Amino acid sequence: MPLLELVELTKIFRTPHGEARAVDGITLSVEAGETLGIIGESGSGKSTLGRLILRLTEPDSGSVVIEGQDVLALGRGELRRKRRHWQIVFQEPFASLNPRLTIRQIVEEPLIVARMGDRAERRLRVLATLEEVGLSADFMDRRPANLSGGQQQRVGIARALVTNPSLVVLDEPTSSLDLTIRASILRTLARLRASRGLTYVFISHDIETVRHFCSTVAVMHRGKIVEVGPTRDVLIAPQHPYTQSLISAALPVVPYSAAVGTTNSQGQTS
């Protein structure tokens, strides 16, 4: 049984200019331990899809089943109690952290809300989780504004993982970070996936990141999945014309000109 199953999921935003089908009849399934990459350009509806999976936005139709549980059938209170198993890491790390709270308060809150452990146990768990994401105990009493972007995102990851969830939606977790920090965050996420057996839904617009990080990839275009399959197959031999154009638009890891060794008259690689 897949860990996550979406059937005909649809979200329509109604604006004065008409309807926008942000997510249009998406059917997908993700096996436990798998990492599904969702790739597409801005406005393709991939972030909305991530929010629909966790019911942070209510869909117009379709169904979401996680671990055999129909998410849309849950009452408000039941849904809140289930949230600790299904988590999300947001794109903008600083904006997603309450500036008034300390790192300790931020990472501890999911435990308090889920009524997990007493004070002492929670403290130990926060410490252990921070260490797992690569932050020392020194960070406990600091506030988000005093951390770098990478450190802030590590706090966001710690908050998502502290309750030991089974499914984590990663909504472009590295797209606002420097390249070097991006790689180190991705390594941390990969390590956690291996050690905790996590299932990820990884939303991204960066083909290279998806290529290295995801076992399966779904290509989204105007609210629809145009192509889905094992990452290698989809990225090496794309079937759909939109996937082909997406891949050809991506910057190659080794610039073409550098590989061929041509320069233009100004001495710049072209």
Partner 1 sequence: MTSLGGRASSWAKQGRAWAYKRSGMVLAVVAAGIIVALPLAAIFLHLPQNPLQPDVESMALAPNSVHWFGTDGNGMDVFSRTIESARLDLPISLAATAIALVIGVPLGLFATTGVAGEAIMRVVDAFAALPIIVIAVVSIQLMGGGATDVILAIALVAAPRFVRLSRAAAISLRSSRYVEAAVAIGCSPIRVAFNHIFRNAYGVILVQATLTTAGALSTIAALNFLGVGVKPPQPSWGAMIEDGVSMLIRGQWWAVAFPALALLLVIGSLNIIAGAIEDKMERVEHTR
Q: How many residues bind partner 1 (CB under 8 A)?
A: 30
The values of phi and psi at residue 113, to 5°, are -65, -40
Taking the least distance from each CB to partner 1, the nearer of 45 and 50 is: 50
Q: Does 98 bind partner 1 (CB under 8 A)?
A: yes
Q: Of the candidates 73, 113, 124, 236, which one interacts with partner 1 according to CB under 8 A?
A: 113
Q: Residue 49 Cβ, how far from partner 1 at the closest point, in Å? A: 15
Residue 68 CB, nearest approach to partner 1 (Å): 20
Q: Is 237 exposed, middle or buried (0-12, 13-18, 19+ CB in 10 A)?
A: exposed
- Subset of 121-150 contacting partner 1 (CB under 8 A): 141-143, 145-146
> Would you mind telling me the total number of residues written for the chain in this entry?
270
Is residue 200 part of the contact set for partner 1 (CB under 8 A)? no
| Percent helix, percent strand, percent coil in the chain, to nearest 5 | 40, 25, 35
CB distance 93 to 44 below 8 Å? no
Show contacts with partner 1 in window 18-57 (CB under 8 A).
54, 56
Q: What is the DSSP letter of 205?
A: S
Residue 57 phi/psi, 5-degree rounding, is -125, 140
- Which x/- pattern, by CB under 8 A, does the window 156-175 give for partner 1? x--x---x------------
Q: Which two tokens stand for residue 152?
A: 């802030």
52 membership: H or E segment, kind and range: helix 46-53
Q: With beta carbons less than 8 A apart as the criterion, state whether 47 and 39 touch.
A: no
Nearest distance from C-beta of residue 113 to partner 1, angstroms: 5
Question: Would you list the DSSP string of 54-87?
Answer: TTSS--SEEEEEETTEEGGG--HHHHHHHGGGEE
Query: Can residue 205 be called a binding residue for partner 1 (CB under 8 A)?
Result: no
11, 46, 83, 125: residue in contact with partner 1 (rule CB under 8 A): 83
Tell me: does residue 100 bind partner 1 (CB under 8 A): yes
- Burial tier of 167 (Cβ tally within 10 Å: 0-12, 13-18, 19+): buried
Closest approach, Cβ 53 to partner 1, in A, equals 11
Of 75-83, 128-136, 175-183, 192-200, the window that binds partner 1 (rule: CB under 8 A) is 75-83
Query: In this structure, are residues 172 and 204 in contact, taking their beta carbons and an 8 Å threshold?
Result: yes
CB of 252 to partner 1, least distance (A): 33
Q: Name the residues that contact partner 1, by CB under 8 A.
A: 54, 56, 80-84, 87-88, 90, 92, 95-101, 109-110, 113-114, 141-143, 145-146, 156, 159, 163
